[in-house]
Amino acid sequence: MELLKKNTAKREPEQRTVRINTGEHDKSYAGNYTSTTKYNLWTFLPKALFEQYRRVANIYFTLVAALSLTPFSPVRAWTTWTPLVIVLGVAMIKEAIEDYKRYKLDKEINNRAVQVLDPEKGEYITRTWKDVRVGDILVVKKDEQFPADLLFLTSETEEGTCYNETMNLDGETNLKIKKAPDETKDLGEQDFVQFREAVIQCEGPNPRLYQFTGNLLLDGKTLPISPNAILLRGCNLRNTEKVVGAVIYAGHETKIFKNAAPAPSKRSHVERIVDKIIFFMFFLLFSFCIVGSIFFAVWTKDHMENHWYLSPATGKSQYDPDNPGFVGFASFITSFILYGYLIPISLYVSMELVKIAQSMGYINNDRDMYHAETDTPALARTSNLNEELGMVNTILSDKTGTLTRNVMEFFKCSIAGVSYGAGITEIEKANALRKGITLDDRDKPEAAKHRERYFNFYDERLMGDAWFTAKDPEIIEMFFRLLAVCHTVIPDGPTEPHTIKYEAESPDEAALVVAAKAFGFFFYKRTNTTVSVREHTARGDHDVEYEVLNVLEFTSTRKRMSVVIRDKSQDKIIIFTKGADTVIYERLDPKYGPNEAMKESTGRHMEEFGAAGLRTLCLSYAEVDREWYGNVWLPEYVAAKTSLVDRDEKVAEVSEKIERNLRLLGCTAIEDKLQEGVPQCIKQLAMAGIRIWVLTGDKMETAINIGFACSLLREDMMQFTITVYGVEEVEQAEARGDKEEAERLAHAAVARSLETTEKTMDDNPTATFAIVIDGKALSYALSKELAPLFLRVGTRCKAVVCCRVSPLQKAQVTRLVRSKGDTTLAIGDGANDVGMIQSAHIGVGISGQEGMQAVMSSDFAIAQFRFLVPLLLVHGRYCYKRITRMVLFFFYKNMLFGVTIFVFNAFNNFSGQFLYNDFYMTLFNVVFTALTPVVIGIFDRDVDKAMALRYPGLYMQGQRNEYFNFRAIALWLLSSLYQTCIIMVFILVGCRSTVSDRGDGNPYTMWQTGLLMFSCVVLTVHFQVIQITDQWTWAHHVSIWLSMAVWWLYLLAYGAFPLFLSSDLYYLFIGVSAPSAQYWFYLLLVPTACQLPDFFLRMAKKQLAPFDHTIVQEIQKKMDREGRQEVEELGQEPSQEPSILTSIFTGKATKNRGYVPPYDPRSRHVSECNQRKKPGFDGPPCTRADTVPAIERIETLIGVQVGDHAFYGLVSSGARQAGRIETGVRSPVLTHLDNELTDNPYRNRKKSNLPGIVPIPMYVPTVSQERTNPSLSSTSPQHQQQHLGAPTAVAVVYDANGQASSRAVALNGGDKMPSGSPVPSLAPAPGAIASPVSTDTLSPPENAGQQEREILATYELALKH
């Protein structure tokens, strides 16, 4: 959205006037001929070349090539031109092919046929698309595409509607309904022949897809045209036989073309560092050139004439001693070409190749990221950012559709202060399970009857006709009516309850309409002005038609939508409003009695629903005074609707006036289930050191509970809640109506709480933190003064949850986090995430869902949130490592090579002579060392995929940029320098030209030395590859051995070429070098001497301060050696269960996940215990408790027999309430147990088959309590909470025979006792840190620590017996 705004900032014609069907065309408006090609036959060469030269490297290489044509060149010109032409040629051929494809497609599109009304002939004739002009009237038939942006005039349907599919535009597959203006909708196809006087006045062409401001001047009237009457090019007509429309924008002025801006290209960190290294290389190059040219000029001036053999008659000015300036200049050019080998020409080509292989070959083809249900593999939409995936510090995630499935089901509701709906959400289940409570949710048969898509609700008090006799049936009836009326859903298909289909813009709306249907308010027909509902009430079944007067649409700022209707039977005007609770509550009628009564209970229910992870909507209605409506409001509204400037703001303003004095009806709760595998995924990401920020539009409670459910928030985290709701001073100020004061106070409150938060963090350096912040507080936190503080605090947190944020805030937060230098990854699925996705370093879109906008603007698309794990931990890590290693290797080898050239020049007075033949200088980069870097980039693998997932902490190497920081780069380059020295010294001293390498006496000659030196360079470079290769696949073998072989094969082959081709090389290798023993001795010696110190340093580093991946390699090796047995994983999260992915990779059957295999746990523990005896391990010595280790303890809890004890039971703190925010640090023991229990689905499914399990009636349905005790609805939340939180400490001990036994095993090993549950945070900064519910619901009950102690004491006691 942001992007679109920027585009429009460009000057656009203010207005346009379209005269329909006059036959005259305004020439200033574009025709409908379109071309998407970049080039034509004549412009191809210059333009395509220009494109290529946008890369600085290409300019450089062209410059070098051009200079090589001058007489100053040390090399033959073709040796620089050939690689350049190849590199450019390949890229340009690719461009040409792509452009030709576009040309063919354009041609096909331009020649498509369409029916156009010819005003002269007065009949419809067939024309091609390209001949369509603005003002023409067209007929488009079913399933055809609209050739231009049209004003919808009429369709064959009675209401003047049509459906269109906007797939090409925004990727959404659901059909959108469009509506012709009432004044034209009844005209027939032929009536338009006479349709001459109509004029459209509208805004100029612009890229805003969903907005249109314009009026239709018809018969002297000015009619507003809503965006709903515009048919856009690119869309298809569906379900409608034909429509007639008038062209408003054609060709390149259509919105789809205006939108075709290329996505902003992102560059990775690594690439930017590469640029820096290239700059360094340029610096080196220039200093070489300057040193060389100055020296040469001085030498030429002072000495050249003495060296008579060089200059008979001098002649050529580039060696003219009398003109040292020019000599220096010429020498500079010579050196520039000569030392150009410092800059790797093939780096960019190779990098591109490798990245394409990584994305197309690996990422797009990874079966671990393939979602079978939607048949969606992962898609790398750009290959620029592969390595960036390995450096992510912060993930910013949307919630709906990203963490959740975006499958909406009507789940609960609260009407007139009474909560209905018996379901238990997955989040409640997950939360309860964390406490060791199993919530039974087996489908009741009568409930199943009512289940359908979008509807998962059962409550006998409402179903059937039960609600007729319930309390407040009028309110319930109104509630249902609102559900049936207040929406923009379009029914489709036969009007029977079971066959009808609803086309809704959002799944939430569909869920509400389906719910209304289930409750007996069957919405079956919508016309332009009416909504028809078959109402089943106590009075019987009636088909009621409501006249829809106005629809006040939903926007993200309004957070509500309203429908104004006239109830014909009672002749009343009613407004139905549904929206976010805050928005509705603000607009309730304070004088209306029932409001007050319902406000609190409804609010509490919403809180509960939110806590259960449900999406809530508040429903309300009001009667509108007819006089006021007709005389005052409607004219204002129409004026606003037809205004050409700021239409949206004005409409919102006017809408405000009617949406007031509302009467509360209740609220609905819709469930959006968590996606599969999200908690495990988040856990792994957290272990990989990635901070996760969830940015959601949800309420705070919902967000927090989802945070818990998906393991984002954990109980051992210290949480801070920052909000401005419930700050007394602010509320007071607001109540006074002093908005500025309120803002100032709120700002101060946020500042205070942030400061307190930071201080608390400083005081607890070892704790992990989480922050929950709501949108309003966020807006202050993002202010200029507070942003740095917020960022500081936020980046110290493992998790940050931002609730109720707007799309704009999402992007702002992203930019804020980015500004710190963190690598950010934004993931989302909807249009509201586009800003965030584009702002982040890496944008990931969730594909396979309905909306595609996020995907369209993303860099990577995956089908499920959980695929982030392989995307980051596997592909990101590999790509980062591979690319950086490849780049370093490139610079290493080119530096090595380039510096040898420079050093040799020092021995010939920098005259620009080189020791190598120009053939092999040219081939060095493109042949002899071309394959190995590519293989490194594609096949290098330090640890296996499974290990990368098993040790997510390995990912932190990328975050720290361990392979590509200054140190690493400097070390590589230094090592390159060192090796150059070795080569130069060994060859130039050992093989100096006064000694002979053979029996027949001839001393070393120049090309012979060069051949030897080049052989050493090639070998050394490959030895380096051998040294850094962690795993040898066939590709490694092929590349390394083949590259080396090619060098000697080349020597053999080339030496045999005729003299005029091979010149210096003629017969050199076979005739001169190969027969010499010294040649081979040096080949063995020099690379060894070069690599020996490198090897030693690597090994010493490995010994003293090993890299993490080194250790994991060792672990892997150990596992391989021990027959793939598991080694103990100290330092991992206790007994980490293999994730689904890990189990796939390691080949373990997933169905056994969580099942503890039947082996003797003691053996494992004893080894662990023995370890402690070793020196260097400073843990406590083995104790009695160690023989019953922690692992075993867990196993006992899940029903595995241990020794002669059998021990079943459940542990729960009992103090924790499902879905409540908790603060403070929990005992690690209980957390650990909780995790174990939560993560063990086996326990729940199979429990009935295990002996001795005590069924625990833990779940007391809320509903039943409320029914039996209606007065409860007014009790405080805290009260209710305690009511729900039945004591859950169960410690029944059974022996093997299933008899209750007094013997039990210890729970207490080395673990500490909970120390009175310290709650270090929450020194209540006035109002701010403490969340709105902090005092009563957020903190654990006072006796929490007490209960934990009791439980543990029970176990201790049991053990002693």
Partner 1 sequence: MASPTPSGEGTTKKTKEPRNTRITQQTLPACKPVLEPVWIVFIFLAIGVVLVPIGSVCLYYGLKPVEVGTRYDQTCLPNNLNTNAQRQEYIWKHAANDSKLTCEIKLTITKDMPAPIFVYYELNGYYQNHRRYVKSRSDMQLAGKSKDLATSLCDPLEFLGGNKSLPINPCGLVAWSFFNDTYTMMIKSNATSPSKLLPVSDKNIAFDSDVKYRFAKYNPQNFNPEINSLRGGFNLSYASGGATPKENQRFMNWMRLSALPRFRKLWGRIDTDLKAGNVVPISITNRYNTYAFDGQKSIVLGTTTWLGSRNPFLGVAYLVTGGLSFVLALVYLILRLARPRKFGDPAALSFSRAGASG
- Show which residues are catalytic: 398
Residue from the set 173, 993, 1167, 1315 that interacts with partner 1 by CB under 8 A: 993
If you search the block for the tokens 């086996």, which residue do you land on?
Answer: 1242
Tally of CB atoms within 10 A around 1349: 17
1088 is an interface residue for partner 1 by CB under 8 A: yes
Per CB under 8 A, the segment of 228-236, 906-914, 1160-1168, 1201-1209 that binds partner 1 is: 906-914
Phi, psi of 791 (to 5 degrees): -65, -45
Asked if 335 contacts 289 with a C-beta cutoff of 8 angstroms, the reply is yes
Q: Which of residues 1126-1165 bind partner 1 (CB under 8 A)?
A: 1127-1132
295 is an interface residue for partner 1 by CB under 8 A: no
Calpha distance 759→752 (Å, rounded): 11
Residue 17 vs 365, nearer CB to partner 1: 365
Do the annotations mark residue 1129 as ligand-binding? no
* 1225-1244 footprint of partner 1 as x/- string (CB under 8 A): --------------------
Which pairing describes strands 15-19 and 199-203: parallel, antiparallel, or unpaired? Answer: antiparallel
Q: Which of residues 325-384 bind partner 1 (CB under 8 A)?
A: 334, 361-362, 364-367, 370, 372, 375-377
Per CB under 8 A, the segment of 103-111, 302-310, 514-522, 774-782 that binds partner 1 is: 302-310
921 is an interface residue for partner 1 by CB under 8 A: no
| Closest CB 310 distance from partner 1, rounded Å | 5
DSSP 647-691: HHHHHHHHHHHHS-SBEEEEEEEEEEEEPTTHHHHHHHHHHTT-E
Residues 6+ apart with CB under 8 A from 66: none
- Structure letter (DSSP) for residue 698: S
Six-digit token string for 275:
């640029």
1092 is an interface residue for partner 1 by CB under 8 A: yes
Return the ∠ at Cα 1153 (arms to 1148 and 1156), rounded to 5°: 95
Per CB under 8 A, the segment of 194-202, 438-446, 900-908, 1268-1276 that binds partner 1 is: 900-908
Per CB under 8 A, the segment of 211-219, 907-915, 1184-1192, 1295-1303 that binds partner 1 is: 907-915
Residue 75 vs 573, nearer CB to partner 1: 75
Residue 23 in 3-state DSSP? coil
1125 is an interface residue for partner 1 by CB under 8 A: no
* Residue type, position 373, single letter: E
Residue from the set 632, 638, 974, 1084 that interacts with partner 1 by CB under 8 A: 1084
Residue 104 vs 1117, nearer CB to partner 1: 1117
992 is an interface residue for partner 1 by CB under 8 A: yes
| Closest CB 307 distance from partner 1, rounded Å | 5
Do the annotations mark residue 1268 as ligand-binding? no
Q: Which of residues 760-799 bind partner 1 (CB under 8 A)?
A: 766-768
964 is an interface residue for partner 1 by CB under 8 A: no
997 is an interface residue for partner 1 by CB under 8 A: yes
Asked if 987 contacts 1012 with a C-beta cutoff of 8 angstroms, the reply is yes
Per CB under 8 A, the segment of 274-282, 775-783, 827-835, 1000-1008 that binds partner 1 is: 1000-1008
CA distances from 1321 to 246, 717, 726, 1333, 1340 (A): 65, 11, 19, 15, 13
Residue 475 vs 1144, nearer CB to partner 1: 1144
* Burial degree of 77 (CB within 10 A; 0-12, 13-18, 19+): middle
1180 is an interface residue for partner 1 by CB under 8 A: no
Residues 6+ apart with CB under 8 A from 253: 29, 30, 149, 205
| Closest CB 2 distance from partner 1, rounded Å | 32
Residue 211 vs 996, nearer CB to partner 1: 996
* 679-698 footprint of partner 1 as x/- string (CB under 8 A): --------x-x---------
Residues 6+ apart with CB under 8 A from 1300: 1292, 1293, 1294
Calpha distance 923→932 (Å, rounded): 14
Residue from the set 321, 990, 1285, 1326 that interacts with partner 1 by CB under 8 A: 990
| Closest CB 1208 distance from partner 1, rounded Å | 31
Calpha distance 1130→1127 (Å, rounded): 9
Calpha distance 1234→1216 (Å, rounded): 11
Compute the chain's Rg from CA coordinates.
38
Q: Which of residues 72-101 bind partner 1 (CB under 8 A)?
A: 74
Residue from the set 274, 915, 984, 1322 that interacts with partner 1 by CB under 8 A: 915
Residue from the set 843, 1010, 1314, 1332 that interacts with partner 1 by CB under 8 A: 1010
Do the annotations mark residue 998 as ligand-binding? no
Calpha distance 1130→1134 (Å, rounded): 8
Do the annotations mark residue 158 as ligand-binding? no
| Closest CB 374 distance from partner 1, rounded Å | 10
| Closest CB 998 distance from partner 1, rounded Å | 5
Of 407, 394, 386, the residue nearest 456 (C-alpha): 407
| Closest CB 1241 distance from partner 1, rounded Å | 26
Residue 338 vs 703, nearer CB to partner 1: 338
Of 1286, 1300, 1289, the residue nearest 1355 (C-alpha): 1289
1089 is an interface residue for partner 1 by CB under 8 A: yes
Total residues contacting partner 1 (rule CB under 8 A)? 122
Residue 162 vs 921, nearer CB to partner 1: 921
Of 555, 668, 563, the residue nearest 617 (C-alpha): 668
Residue from the set 173, 222, 287, 1002 that interacts with partner 1 by CB under 8 A: 1002
- Strand order of the β-sheet with 236-238 is 175-179, 161-165, 236-238
Residue 294 vs 789, nearer CB to partner 1: 294
1005 is an interface residue for partner 1 by CB under 8 A: yes
Residue from the set 1100, 1286, 1323, 1357 that interacts with partner 1 by CB under 8 A: 1100
507 is an interface residue for partner 1 by CB under 8 A: no
Which pairing describes strands 199-203 and 379-380: parallel, antiparallel, or unpaired? Answer: unpaired
Q: Which of residues 140-199 bind partner 1 (CB under 8 A)?
A: none
DSSP H helical ranges for 718-765: 728-736, 739-763
Helix axes 346-356, 77-110, angle to 10 degrees: 40
DSSP β-bridge partners for residue 16:
202
Do the annotations mark residue 95 as ligand-binding? no
Residue 84 vs 1085, nearer CB to partner 1: 1085
1249 is an interface residue for partner 1 by CB under 8 A: no
Do the annotations mark residue 399 as ligand-binding? yes
1116 is an interface residue for partner 1 by CB under 8 A: yes
Residue 1034 vs 1159, nearer CB to partner 1: 1034
CA distances from 23 to 115, 130, 1114, 1148 (A): 15, 16, 81, 73
| Closest CB 988 distance from partner 1, rounded Å | 7
- Strand order of the β-sheet with 418-420 is 418-420, 404-415, 663-674, 614-624, 572-579, 560-567, 540-552, 530-537, 521-526
Six-digit token string for 747:
């700002």
If you search the block for the tokens 């920027």, which residue do you land on?
Answer: 6
40 is an interface residue for partner 1 by CB under 8 A: no
Do the annotations mark residue 131 as ligand-binding? no
Which residues are annotated as part of the binding site for Mg(2+)? Answer: 398, 400, 829, 833
Which residues are annotated as part of the binding site for ATP? Answer: 398-400, 509, 554, 578, 615, 696-698, 804, 810, 832-833
Which residues are annotated as part of the binding site? Answer: 398-400, 509, 554, 578, 615, 696-698, 804, 810, 829, 832-833
